[in-house]
């Protein structure tokens, strides 16, 4: 989940893995590919991606409803992100990016159909499905990561204001309950913003981090795999957010 496009082909094992050569257009992570096993290109990134799936099962497995796409979408993000980081192939990368759009679409549909008539809810579902589907096709045809990034950014900026609107104006909740809900919103947002900062440090300081990790050696070098921390922090934030949206809309 969440990639950019620096390339680094100088690692000794980069082209010696089961899934080599990497075909992903967004291959960036500057890790020592296949350094631990020939079966997994980026071990820490693949393992840390499982946080989404693990948290989806742990938080929601006892609380699933009949039509409950949000936990399923969260689970799929982890599953497909693991597939991408394990292989660095273009197909799994598309699946990984599609899973993010699917989670965004599920959140949009849940939030914007909340409190609406069945007819309006159906219109919302159609608009979200058409919009997401069109952007997904455009992304796959162009393989331009910016199409995906822009689509997901638009989704996020439609999701958070609607969430706050439902907390503050969408119901006659007592003030004390609104305060609790806003605190949950802030907790999720803080985790996601923190994750984004870590992601940017990883992007901007990749050469320095790579040199430090090389000096440290394994296993301590793994603690500076910031893309792994990005996975864990976004998994925690997304799980909190999904839980909040379920509390607001179900």
Q: Is 177 labelled a binding residue?
A: no
Q: Is 204 labelled a binding residue?
A: no
Nearer CB in complex with Zn ion: 185/230? 230
Distance of closest approach, residue 21 Cβ to Zn ion, in angstroms: 19
The CA-CA-CA angle for residues 42, 69, 161, to 5°, reads 90
Distance of closest approach, residue 244 Cβ to Zn ion, in angstroms: 23
Nearer CB in complex with Zn ion: 1/43? 1
Distance of closest approach, residue 238 Cβ to Zn ion, in angstroms: 13
Q: Does 145 bind Zn ion (CB under 5 A)?
A: no
* Binding string, residues 186-225; x marks residues near Zn ion by CB under 5 A: ----------------------------------------
- How many chain residues interact with Zn ion (CB under 5 A)? 1
Distance of closest approach, residue 149 Cβ to Zn ion, in angstroms: 13
Q: Is 85 labelled a binding residue?
A: yes
Nearer CB in complex with Zn ion: 93/163? 93
Distance of closest approach, residue 178 Cβ to Zn ion, in angstroms: 35
* Segment 1 to 30, residues that bind Zn ion, using CB under 5 A: 1
Nearer CB in complex with Zn ion: 1/51? 1
In this structure, the number of other CB atoms found within 10 A of the CB of residue 15 comes to 12
Q: Which residue is nearest to Zn ion (CB)?
A: 1
Q: Is 227 labelled a binding residue?
A: yes
Distance of closest approach, residue 80 Cβ to Zn ion, in angstroms: 10
Q: How is the chain classified by DSSP, letter by letter? A: -----------TTTTSSTTPSP--TT------TTSSBTTBSSHHHHHHHHHHHHHHHHHHGGG--SS-HHHHHHHHHHHHHHHHHHH--HHHHHHHHHHHHHHHHHHHHHHHHTT--HHHHHHHHHHHHHHHHHHHHHHHHH--HHHHHHHHHHHHHHHHHHHHHHHHTSS---HHHHHHHHHHHHHHHHHHHHHHHHHHHHHHTHHHHHHHHHHH-TTGGGGG-HHHHHHHHHHHHHHHHHHHHHHHH-
Provide CB contacts within 8 A for 1, sequence distance 6+: 49, 52, 77, 81, 96, 99, 100, 230, 231, 234
Binding site listing for Zn(2+):
85, 227, 231
Q: Which residues bind Zn ion (CB under 5 A)?
A: 1
Binding site listing for Ca(2+):
42
Binding site listing:
42, 85, 227, 231
């Amino acid at each position: 989940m969440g990639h950019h496009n620096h390339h680094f082909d100088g690692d000794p094992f980069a082209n010696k893995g089961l899934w080599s050569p990497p075909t992903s257009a967004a291959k960036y992570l500057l890790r020592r590919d296949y350094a631990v096993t020939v079966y997994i290109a980026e071990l820490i990134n693949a393992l840390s991606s499982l946080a989404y799936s693990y948290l989806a099962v742990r938080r929601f497995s006892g609380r699933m409803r009949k039509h409950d796409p949000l936990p399923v979408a969260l689970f799929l993000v982890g599953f497909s992100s693991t597939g991408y980081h394990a292989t660095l192939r273009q197909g799994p990368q598309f699946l990984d990016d599609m899973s993010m759009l699917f989670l965004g679409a599920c959140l949009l549909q849940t939030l914007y159909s909340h409190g609406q008539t069945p007819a309006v809810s159906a219109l919302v579902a159609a608009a979200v499905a058409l919009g997401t589907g069109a952007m997904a096709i455009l992304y796959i045809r162009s393989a331009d990561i910016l199409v995906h990034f822009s689509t997901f950014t638009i989704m996020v900026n439609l999701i958070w204001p609607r969430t706050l609107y439902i907390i503050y104006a969408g119901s006659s909740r007592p003030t004390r309950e609104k305060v609790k809900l806003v605190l949950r919103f802030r907790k999720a947002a803080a985790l996601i913003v923190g994750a984004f900062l870590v992601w940017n440090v990883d992007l901007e300081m990749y050469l320095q981090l790579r040199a430090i990790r090389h000096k440290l050696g394994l296993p301590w070098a793994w603690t500076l795999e910031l893309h792994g921390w990005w996975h864990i922090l976004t998994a925690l934030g997304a799980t909190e957010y999904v839980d909040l949206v379920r509390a607001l809309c179900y």
